[in-house]
Structure 1
Amino acid sequence: MAEEVKNISERISKIASGLTEDLQVSVNELTALGQSMCFDMRGQRLADLSLNMIEIIDRNLYERTCDVRWWATDASLVDALTNHSPGNCAHASERLGIILDSYTVYLDIWLADNNGRIIASGRSGLYGRVIGANIAQEPWFKKAMQHSSGDQYFSGQVTAESLLNSSQTCTFSAAVRSKAGKQTPVIGVIGIFFDWKNQTDSVLKGVRLSDDERSRSRLMIIDDNRRIIASSHTHNHLGERIELKTKAAQTNGYTILGKNLIQGYLVTPGFETYPGMGWLGVIEQHLPTTDT
């Protein structure tokens, strides 16, 4: 009898041990599945928020491409380039100043002749070194001079412009043509300087994150060379490179950078006739400690 009880006890112990091992395997699998679902849900949300962020930037820059082509046909600018009289140049500067009073997203607007000399500026009182400066070697000037039609424009990278007190700007340009025609000879170039820092700061602050989420997140706009051109972290500098692990052939998604760090991203889709610059909206977020 004692031997039978011993055998039954051993069998019960083996069964219990097997159940414990099976249960632990199941628990581990469920835990891994739960973590994966958590990462997927949060990662997709960050990608969606990145879309909203870069989409606002794209729409904003699209409007700048319309502005520069429209203002290139302004009669006062055509007159100043046709006849470089002090009166005409002063009138062109006055006209540019009026435009800037209504379009507060710009730092300044410049008008340059075919030699690259700036003859008019909307904020010459604020930026005293602009009038008379030569920008013939600037990419935005060279590109505009090569345009074959009034429908064309140039959209530049984000830079710090020395003549604008090293302010961060994104420059758009277009050719100004005689008699404001689409195919007439080029007589100069208009350059408009988007107030990049202030405008993108506003966009980043407008992303819908709770205070807790924002404290655990870094929001960024990244250019096509994987350099930071806007960031919610003030210690990030213009042009600083970032580790960005996008998945091949995917324009949006997320990457797990560490045990508790997710990076959601989306490549610019462009807007209307503006194809975008290959820039990305990126949001990095640390998971809260309760999710570890």
Structure 2
Amino acid sequence: MEALLKNNKSQFLDIFTTVSGHKSNLVSLNSWWDKVALVGKINSLNVPQSLLSNMLETKAEFSELQEILIENLLSENMQQCGVKNQAVAQTLIDIPVRNLFERTADVGFLATDADILAFLSDSTDHVPDTSAIVKRLTEYAAKYSVYDDIMLFDETGQLKAQMDTGADISGDDSVIAEVLTGEHEYLEICRYSPLRPAFPLSSLFLAPVKDPETQRVTGVLCMSFKLEGEMRSLFADLDDGSGAIMALLDKQGNTLVSADETVLPRGTALNVSRSNQIITLGNHEYYCTVARTRGYQGYAGLGWQGCVLLPFASMSAHPENSDENSDDVQRWQGFSPALSNIRHKAKIVTEDLDLVVLNGRIAAARSDADEFIPILEEIRQIGRQMQTIFTDSVSQLMNTALNTHYDGLIFQAALAIDIMDRNLYERANDCRWWALTGLFQSVLNKRQISPDDAAAMAGVLGYINDLYTVYTGLYIYDRNGKIVAVSRPAMKALEGTTVHADTGAGQVFNLKSSQQFCVSEFVPCHYYESKHTYIYNAAITKDGQVNGGIGLVFDSGPEFKQMLEDVTGGENDGIFGLYTDRNGHVISATDNANWKTGDRITLPDTISKGGNGHKGAGIHEINGEEYILAFAVSKGYREYKTSDGYHNDVIAIIGEPNQPVKSQQ
């Protein structure tokens, strides 16, 4: 950023018109000062030379301070653009990487589905009926709605079943043969594929389907992820009306998906060797910011990058002089020592000028040099005008610095709540899909469940739980609410007991379709060592009859805390993270916060009563302490919390104590 500003200073002065206006006014006043001083020197020979020297020294101090002021004004305006763009670019890659990580788990698990195994293992000569398997694939995509097609290929690479029956394939893709070797747990590609010929870009996840006993590869599962739709939705969420062009780039800097195909069409190559640089597209200049993936749980995907292109015209329209946070500016103690020093020096130089003028008046009186009095008065007026410019400039500087700080915290809060919504969307999908497991449906439909049946269900639950470690345990209960199978030996004592009322299981028997689910309140739970958590439930049915349900105990403690720490970077410069409900009950907190899960905070109305998707920042007092708090209210993801009937508003808060910045040693 510093090098960019240094090499393009005049260009950025043209962009930030308020800064250039301040500079122009100061240059004019400097010039007038020189002329006035020269007139005084020529016409006031009786005035001591030391007085004139003091005037020149004070002017030199003003000039030095002016340079520092203009540099900092430019730097802060650039910083505000840079911080915001960097946050957006990082979000453009962090969110997809987390999303795609979930897809790697999906394809691996679905490849072990009993119905898919049976379908691909059918060695009879007759043409198999694909309607049942297509129905099952469709049920899956109805839960995990991020897929637009699911295909099954046999061991020769021939297409055997396809969810999107109206979409033809135009030929073979070499990736199928590669998966059939059985050497990969899964493969991920993002390019044109003849398996999806109608689309110029396909994001496909593939895994071998293996016989569980012999480990022979019997076919390939291929899942088509709605990458472009997901990115379009993310672009819309992040659009602030600035005209910035957002894009997802591949590892080499080629455009995969762009928010503006006319300016940045798919395939356009960008030089991504530096994060902050000026690039030219179609005779227009853009401030380019790129962010690389930080990975998630060891998954880095295909090395994609998030990119933001801010047109220079949008930078000039940047709200440089916003007074929206003027009260907070007066309260904020987080200004850097450098900014605080400018304000302090401006005050000292103005006082020095007043002293020079006073001494001049005394010297003029002693030397009978009345002709010098108008000169002093003119210099005083110049000083007052300079003081006004400095006051306005420093006010702008402080406002811009605070807005920059707010922008960074707000984006962290928005990212934190988005991560939570997207994560819990997957949990709602898991419970509904696992409730459709054929074994569970057939066993619970029996009048009497044998020990062997219960053991078989426990085995499947254990297998699932080993793969999905975000749960401390899974359990199945029958139509009487009695727990009949559990996933972990530590939960064995629960078998035969009636499921607790605080788990939300009672609502299961009122569910009307496989698309519905229910979630417990966030309260201390017996199945989670009496700690707060959510339990996700779905009905297990047969022929429309609810015969019981499945409960998933979410490991909320470490999972929520990790989400917050991923956003805040851990204990970073005193910045803490919280998830709360609208009543201020703490759902999760980073270790450096002054609150813990289960505590209650009295939240300001601006935070607790904000609408879904609302976000902002300000300085607030809690329990006698001032904090800078940025917040974002949950808005859901896809159908989760938006159209599925589930309502549970959560607020992400990123904050820090309102205290002076520590000087760097």
Q: What TM-score, normalized to structure 1? A: 0.84
Name the structure 1 match of 2:193: none
Cα contact 2:477–2:484 (8 A) shared by 1: yes
**Are 1:225 and 2:583 matched, yes or no?**
yes
Q: Residue deviations 1:254-291, cap 9 Å, x none?
A: 11237984211111231122127321221103466269
1:267 aligns to 2:625 (yes or no)? no
CA deviations over 1:156-179 (Å, ceiling 9, x no partner): 33333223322442211111112x
| Structure exhibiting the larger radius of gyration computed from Cα positions | 2
**Quick check: 37-46 or 132-141, which moved more?**
132-141
When structure 1 is superposed on structure 2, of 264-273 and 191-200 the one drifting more is 264-273
Q: Judge conservation of contact 1:39–1:262 (CA < 8 Å) in 2.
A: no
Match of 2:456 in 1: 91
Deviates more, 1:184-193 or 1:51-60: 51-60
| Cα distance in 2 for residues equivalent to 1:161 and 1:248 | 29
Are 1:109 and 2:474 matched, yes or no?
Answer: yes
The answer to whether the aligner puts 1:39 opposite 2:398 as a matched pair is: no
Greater alpha carbon shift after TM alignment, 34-43 vs 280-289: 280-289
Which residue identity is paired with 2:565? K
The separation in 2 between residues aligned to 1:168 and 1:104, in whole angstroms, is 18
Q: Among 141, 147, 150, which residue is 2:514 paired with?
A: 150
Equivalent residue, structure 2, for 1:289 = 661
Measure the CA separation in 2 of the matches of 1:32 and 1:87: 76
Tell me the distance in 2 between the aligned counterparts of 1:136 and 1:197: 20
- CA-CA distance at 1:97 after TM superposition: 1.1
Question: Which one of the candidate residues 597, 601, 615 is aligned to 1:238?
Answer: 597
Q: Secondary structure at the match of 2:534?
A: strand
1:223 and 1:114 map into 2 onto residues whose CA distance is 33
Q: CA RMSD in A?
A: 3.0
Report Cα offsets for 1:86-138 as digits up to 9, x if no partner: 22222222221111011111111111122222121111x21344222223633
Which amino acid letter does the alignment assign opposite residue 573 of structure 2?
S
Instruction: Tell me: CA distance 1:96–1:43, structure 2 relative to 1, closer, same or farther (3 Å).
Output: same
C-alpha change, 1:141 and 1:147, in structure 2 (3 Å) is same
For 1:61, the aligned partner's letter is L
3-state SS in 2 of match to 1:273: coil
- CA gap 1:54/1:257 in 2 versus in 1, 3 angstroms: same
Correspondence for 2:429: 66
Query: Shift in Å at residue 72 of structure 1?
Result: 0.9
Q: Secondary structure at the match of 2:480?
A: coil
Deviation string 1:197-253 (CA, Å, 9 cap, x unpaired) is 1112222222264x7x71321111122332211111265222222334438557112
Q: Is the 8 A contact 1:117 1:136 kept in 2?
A: no
5+ residue gaps, structure 2, are 1-45, 47-363, 642-646
Greater Cα offset, 109-118 or 59-68 = 109-118
Deviation at 1:8, TM superposition (A): 4.0
Select the structure with the greater relative contact order (CA < 8 A; seq sep ≥ 6): 1
Identity of paired residues, percent?
24
Aligned residue pairs, count: 284
User: Which of 531, 549, 561 is the matching residue for 1:189?
Assistant: 549
Distance 1:89 1:165 in 2: 24
1:221 maps to amino acid:
Y
Distance (whole Å) between structure 2 residues aligned to residue 128 and residue 256 of structure 1 = 50
Equivalent-residue separation in structure 2 for 1:129 and 1:43 (angstroms): 50
For structure 1, the 5+ residue unaligned runs are none
Counterparts of 1:16 and 1:74 in 2: how far apart (Å)? Answer: 87
TM-superposed CA distance for 1:14, in Å, is 4.2
SS of the aligned residue for 2:522 comes to: strand
**For the structure 1 residues 122 and 174, does the alpha-carbon distance in structure 2 shift closer, same or farther, using more than 3 Å as the test?**
same
Are the structure 2 counterparts of residues 9 and 150 from structure 1 closer, same or farther at C-alpha, using a change threshold of 3 Å? Answer: same
Question: C-alpha distance in 2, partners of 1:279/1:158?
Answer: 11
2:540 equivalent to 1:176: yes
The one-letter amino acid paired with 1:272 is R
Answer yes or no: is the 8 Å Cα contact 2:565–2:577 preserved in 1: no
